[in-house]
Amino acid sequence: QVQLVESGGGLVQPGGSLRLSCAASGSISFINYMGWYRQAPGKQRELVARINGGGITNYADSVKGRCTISRDNAKNTVYLQMNSLKPEDTAVYYCHADIGWRTSRDYWGQGTQVTVSS
C-alpha cells in the first residue's frame, strides 16, 4: 500500500559525497517521520538521520557535521546528503517512514548499498 523507493547509493572514495533520495508513494495519510537507517555486515541496524513533519532533525553522533537530512513535502521525498564519507560509513542504507493518522505503521525501503573504499 505504501512503497519507499531509494536511489543514490554507490561506490565512492573516502572523502567523497553521495546524496540519497527516498520517495514515498501509495496510500499516505500522514508522514510522522522519514529517515535513514543503515546496517553494516555483522552489525545491528542503526539510525543515521531522521526528520519529522515539523522539520526537526536528529542525527547519529557518528555522522553529525557530515550529513544533512531534508524533506520535500510536496513529493513525499526525503534526502540524505553525505559528505566527507569514511570507510566506516559503508553499509546498506534503508529508508524508513512512520506513516499514519490516529494509528501509525513503519515502512521500509529495499535498501541501497553505500560503499566507501579507495
Quote the distance between the C-alpha of residue 82 and its chain's center: 10
- Are 35 and 53 spatial neighbours (Cβ–Cβ below 8 Å)? no
Which residue type, as a one-letter code, is found at position 41?
P
Q: By three-state DSSP, how is residue 73 classified?
A: helix
In this structure, what DSSP letter does residue 102 have?
S
Split the chain (118 residues) into runs of 10 and give each run's mean pLDDT: 95 98 92 96 96 95 97 93 98 96 93 97
Residue type, 26: G
Distance (Å, rounded) from C-alpha 61 to C-alpha 88? 13
Mind listing the pLDDT tens digit for each residue in 7-19?
Answer: 999 999 999 999 9
Q: Cell numbers 561506490 label which residue?
A: 11
Note the pLDDT tens digit of each residue in 28-37: 889 999 999 9
